[in-house]
Amino acid sequence: MVDDFRHEIRDLSRAIQKLARFNVDFIDETGFQSFIRELPKTLRDYDNFCMAGYFSEAFVQPLIKQRKGLRARIRVLSPELNLKQRRDRNNLKALRKLQDEDIEVKIHSRLHCRMLLAYSHRDIGGIPEAYGHVILGTFDYNDEGVNASKRNAGIKTMNPDLLKSAIKYYDELWEEFRDTKSLDEMYPE
């Protein structure tokens, strides 16, 4: 009787944990900052880390520092830059630093979305399934986004269906031949 009760509690606990994966949380700039502070742990927990948006030193230096010794594949997509603007010239410098650390960097001529994916794959009954985090919002990986000087909003979830769709979309953006170029192709030194 006691063993049956323990099994029921265990099964109920697993069901609750499974349901918890389907939460979608609203995050503001403070929530985004918290996620960025937890980045070292996040990078250790997952094999893939993908970002789309603008970048600056405020984000790049901590990412490079945490990158050392990690197994995660990191891919960065940036919108096309207008090098007449100081902000975009700084963005280019940050992207070059990332590339110098063996982080994959591409420029997408029509990119407007801001997203962050941290995920791995596991085998469930012979079928690979992605698990991890998705953040979709207005956040950039620059001074305004990381230091919360701008008002931003978005969602964060571990929902496996949304993660799967976001990975597929990111991979499509990454591979779009006409719109995506390597950093060196777009901006030769």
The pTM of the whole model exceeds 0.95 = no
Say how many C-beta atoms besides its own lie within 10 A of residue 7's C-beta: 10
DSSP structure string for 113-133:
--EEEEEEEEEETTEEEEEEE
Task: Please give the DSSP secondary-structure letter assigned to residue 142.
Answer: S
In whole angstroms, what is the distance from residue 186 CA to residue 189 CA?
10
Q: Which two tokens stand for residue 120?
A: 């791995």
SS3 assignment, position 99: helix
Class of domain 24-186 as given by CATH: alpha beta
Query: Angle 58-91-107 (CA atoms, 0-180°, nearest 5)?
Result: 125
Per-residue model confidence as pLDDT tens digits over 100-120: 988 999 999 999 999 999 999
Task: Express as a percent the part of the chain with pLDDT over 90.
Answer: 39
For residues 154 and 10, the model is more confident at: 154
If you average pLDDT over every residue of the chain, what do you get? 83
For the chain, give every domain's residue range: 24-186
